[in-house]
Amino acid sequence: MIILKNTGPFNLNKQEISAGQDWWDFKEMKKEKIRRLLHNKRKPITDRPDLRPAAVLVPLFQKNQKTHILLTKRTDQVEHHKGQISFPGGAYHFEDPDYLTTALRETEEEIGVERDSVEILGELDQMITLSHFLISPYVGIIPYPYPFKLSAFEVERLIELPLKYLLEEAEFKEALFTYEGQSNINLHIDFQGEIIWGATARILKYFMDILLKSS
């Protein structure tokens, strides 16, 4: 992964920040509003046989009365996306009855959160990765604190990303990244010395847009 150039910021403006401030708690009314917004999204159907289906969980949790998103830093041992920041999730298995099952199964395998502990709020539009995966992202609430059990093969560590940071400090930018010999323009943000880019950054930005535009 090499950043060759920067093409400009995508940070949220002050009006958007102000409009979105009251989203970041799990009072029942706000939670149900998020659920309705995600339910009303029309998920595009992508019919491309060259893409491998996958699913991820966008895990929301409360820490110190503030909402966070849980991310993972992948190890250098995994086949795809070595060392990158991602959501817990992975490739669809034929025995999975649906993509939600894939997201919950992979989350349990990677970080030890039992699938019955996740409260699903809804689904985001599918995303395509440079590695030719078609990702179905699901937004859900997980309990916290939680006795996470990280897969030594897949997960190096967990990253707790505050939504306040996304709203007030993060700048979504475009840059040219090189992945497995191919260069493509991709969205990214910086957080605590790490670069969150590609499909993960696009999912974060898309989720923020849904919430803020509805305010």
CB 79 within 8 A of CB 29: no
Spatial separation of the C-alpha atoms in residues 13 and 29, rounded to whole Å: 26
In a domain, 175, yes or no: no
Total count of domains within the chain: 1
CB 102 within 8 A of CB 144: no
Q: How would you write the pLDDT of the chain (215 residues) with one tens digit per residue?
A: 333 334 444 444 445 444 445 455 676 768 888 898 888 766 666 778 899 999 999 999 999 989 999 999 999 887 775 789 999 999 999 999 999 999 999 999 999 999 999 999 999 999 988 888 999 999 999 999 999 999 999 999 999 999 889 878 889 999 877 666 677 778 999 999 999 998 999 999 999 888 777 65
> Which residues have C-beta within 8 Å of that of residue 150, sequence separation ≥ 6?
72, 110, 111, 112, 157, 158
Task: Return contacts of 116-119, CB within 8 angstroms, 24+ apart.
Answer: 117/142, 117/143, 117/146, 118/57, 118/59, 118/142
In a domain, 183, yes or no: no
Read off the CATH number of the domain in which 200 is found. Answer: 3.90.79.10
> Which residues have C-beta within 8 Å of that of residue 9, sequence separation ≥ 6?
171, 172, 173
Question: For residue 1, what pLDDT is reported?
Answer: 38
Domain of residue 208 covers 10-167+195-213
In a domain, 134, yes or no: yes
pTM: 0.86
Question: For residue 71, what pLDDT is reported?
Answer: 98
- CA 100 vs. chain centroid, Å, equals 14
Question: For residue 12, what pLDDT is reported?
Answer: 46
Length of the chain: 215
